[in-house]
Amino acid sequence: MPKQVDHRERREEIARALWQVVEQRGVSQLSVREVAKEAGISHGALQHYFTSREAMLSFAMELATEQQTQRIAQGLAALGDRPHPRDVIRVMLTEMLPLHADARAASRMSAAYVLEALHNENIHAQARDGMAQGRLLIEQLLRRAIADGHIGPDRDPVAETNLLLALTGFSTLIELDVVAPQEALTALDHHLNRLFTTGGQNTAEDDGRPHSDTA
C-alpha cells in the first residue's frame, strides 16, 4: 500500500522549506514557487496544503513560535523548581536572540513576518496579537517580581517591560556583525542585574543561583 503522508507533517515540511528560503536567499525570494522548489514538490502540490502565500507564511510563523516556546520551556525546566524570576526572564529573552541555528531561523522568520505585516492587514493583526501576548507575559512576571521584593517597588512595570523587550533589538545588531553574541549577553546581564537590585536584595547571579551563558 502507498505510504500515507500526515497532513500536518507535510505542512511542517513546507514551513521548514519556507524558513530555508528566508534564511538562505532572503525575503525578496519568498514566493510559493520558490518554497515549492525548496520543499521538492510541485507548485500545485503545495497549493493543496496552502491556498495562499499568506496562509503559508502564517503557518510557518506559528510553527517557529511553537518551537521557540518549546525551547523556552526546556530552558525553564533546567532551572529547577521555583527559579529566580531574573533567570526566567533571561531564558525568555535569550531565546529571542539569534544565538544558535534554531533561534537564528526563528529570528529571520520573524523579520520576514513583520515585513509582510506592514502591508497585510490580516498578518498585521496576527503579529500584533502574538507580540502583545508575549509582552503581557513579561509584564506579569515583572509585576510578580516587584510584589515578591525581587525588584524595587519604585520600578514602573510597564516601562521596565518595554525596556526588556527593547533588548531583543540586539537581533539585528548580531545578524549584521555590529555586536558579538557574547557582548549582547553581557549587556543583557548588566541590565537584569540593575533591574533586580533592590538595595538589600541580591540578584540571582549574586546569590549563587545558576544561569546559563547561552540560550
At 208, which CATH number?
Answer: 1.10.357.10
Distance, CA of 76 to chain centre: 15
pLDDT digits (tens, 9 = 90+) for 163-187: 999 999 999 999 999 999 999 999 9
pLDDT of residue 5: 62
Rounded to 10 deg, the angle between the 53-78 and 101-117 helix axes is 140
Q: How many domains does the chain have?
A: 1
**Within-domain flag for 1:** no
**Within-domain flag for 22:** no
**Within-domain flag for 132:** yes
pLDDT of residue 214: 44
**Within-domain flag for 49:** no
**Within-domain flag for 107:** yes
pLDDT digits (tens, 9 = 90+) for 182-212: 999 999 999 999 999 864 344 444 444 444 4
Ordered alpha helix ranges (H), the chain:
7-25, 32-39, 43-49, 53-78, 85-95, 101-117, 121-147, 157-166, 170-175, 181-195
Residue 128 sits in which domain range? 80-215
pTM of the model: 0.82
Residues 6+ apart with CB under 8 A from 149: 198, 201
